[in-house]
Structure 1
Amino acid sequence: MSLALTTLTEAAQQTAYALLGGMGARWRHSRGVAHRAAELAGPLGIDADLLVAAAWLHDIGYAPPAVVTGFHPLDGAGYLAARRWPPRVTGLVAHHSGAVFVAAARGLGGALAAFADEGGVVADALTYADQTVGPEGQRVTLADRRTEMLCRHGAHSWNARVDHVRWPHLRALAERVERRLAAAEPVRHARDGVAVPV
């Protein structure tokens, strides 16, 4: 499929479905993250097409055709880069949800660094969407997502090994997003004609 013929979001949804559509919970989670990202884009004032495309694609590295290293952010980004997706999309996929910490622990930091980490509000929003949607696509709190992930992956997993640095990073990121959402709320209400308490 040519990316020039469609929006990034449409192309991403089709690609994600082709790779993850038969993977049950992985597909439901990805769909939930994409929907959550779509809700965040407007209030955060960011490019919805870019954010939602990255949300659809953030976990494609779990799909067998994409697996190379077994580290899904890196494998997903590599799969996209090989198919000439925009560098911003591949970078967002590569660096989502504190991937840098796991990559360093696994000796994959150099490979991950090949993809630009743009940081900022778009990257924060992608991670926030991922970390507030559970494995079945349901909304969860950041703390509940952490607990579920650590239980699912196990006490000796790479995620558990880096939790002491990754968790503070995720908490700080969530606080940044939630501050921006709170600041945007009065603006949204005023624009929509809803009375805003003073």
Structure 2
Amino acid sequence: MTIVDRAEMLAEQLVAPLGRRWVHVQAVAARAHEVAAAVSRDDVETLVAAAWLHDIGYSDQIGHTRFHPLDGARFLRAQDWPASIVNLVAHHSGARFEAEERGMSRELGEFPFSDSPVLDALVLADLTTGPSGERLSYDERISEILQRYPEDDPVHRTWLKAAPILREAIERAERRIVAASS
């Protein structure tokens, strides 16, 4: 069984009960396959496994802090998943900005942040996939997030700060995909 197979099975176990969130996770994993040219061949399995696992922290079974990137990463670390995958889950899609809004930067700091092509590709996969698995542009996804959360919510405040920085991550990933096809 590959690490991607293990990730898919664990994600299904923890996220499928969450309904729409499971549809999103499946679509993000499919999107990760599509954008795999943004990473080296050696990193494709890491990217796709992280895509399957990125939202497991929403599960009531493991969501102790209610900050899903942290809860997911802590669970995976305790289960001896590779650090590369654990850290991608911890830092996916601007988690460092939300950690700051929630006063949880120290806790998230348990996991090293690495600004890498794999993180960029995971951001691209996640932030061009809507909450029901639909394909969205980055701008549509950010607009959807801002509409879903009220202005006083930490998630809304996060995206006001994080959106331009994560746009850069997506643009880097897209440039890598174009370069790989040349």
TM-score, scaled relative to structure 1 = 0.87
Q: Name the larger-Rg structure.
A: 1
| Aligned-CA RMSD value | 1.2
How far apart are the structure 1 equivalents of 2:138 and 2:83? 28
The 3-state SS of whatever aligns with 1:65 is coil
Deviation, structure 1 residue 43? 5.0
Deviation, structure 1 residue 181? 1.5
Deviation, structure 1 residue 35? 0.5
How far apart are the structure 2 equivalents of 1:7 and 1:72? 25
How far apart are the structure 2 equivalents of 1:77 and 1:49? 17
Determine if contact 2:50/2:85 at 8 Å carries over to the other structure: yes
One-letter code of the match for 2:36?
A: A
One-letter code of the match for 1:74?
A: L
Determine if contact 2:69/2:90 at 8 Å carries over to the other structure: yes
Determine if contact 2:70/2:107 at 8 Å carries over to the other structure: yes
Say whether 1:30 aligns with 2:25.
yes
Larger relative contact order, structure 1 or 2 (CA cutoff 8 Å, min sep 6): 2
The 3-state SS of whatever aligns with 2:112 is coil
Deviation, structure 1 residue 16? 0.2
Determine if contact 2:25/2:52 at 8 Å carries over to the other structure: yes
Deviation, structure 1 residue 157? 1.4
Say whether 1:17 aligns with 2:12.
yes
Of the candidates 114, 123, 126, which is equivalent to residue 127 of structure 1?
A: 123
How far apart are the structure 1 equivalents of 2:160 and 2:58? 24
Of the candidates 162, 165, 177, which is equivalent to residue 158 of structure 2?
A: 162
Deviation, structure 1 residue 170? 1.1
Tell me what 1:84 maps to. 80
**What fraction of aligned residue pairs are identical, expressed as a percent?**
44
The 3-state SS of whatever aligns with 2:45 is helix
How far apart are the structure 2 equivalents of 1:42 and 1:151? 32
Structure 1: unaligned runs, 5 residues or longer:
1-5, 187-198
Structure 2: unaligned runs, 5 residues or longer:
none
Determine if contact 1:43/1:185 at 8 Å carries over to the other structure: no
Q: Which moved more, 1:136-145 or 1:150-159?
A: 150-159
Determine if contact 2:38/2:173 at 8 Å carries over to the other structure: no
Tell me what 1:104 maps to. 100
How far apart are the structure 2 equivalents of 1:23 and 1:106? 23
Deviation, structure 1 residue 150? 1.4
The 3-state SS of whatever aligns with 1:182 is helix
Residues 168 and 81 of structure 1: CA distance in aligned 2, closer, same or farther (over 3 Å): same
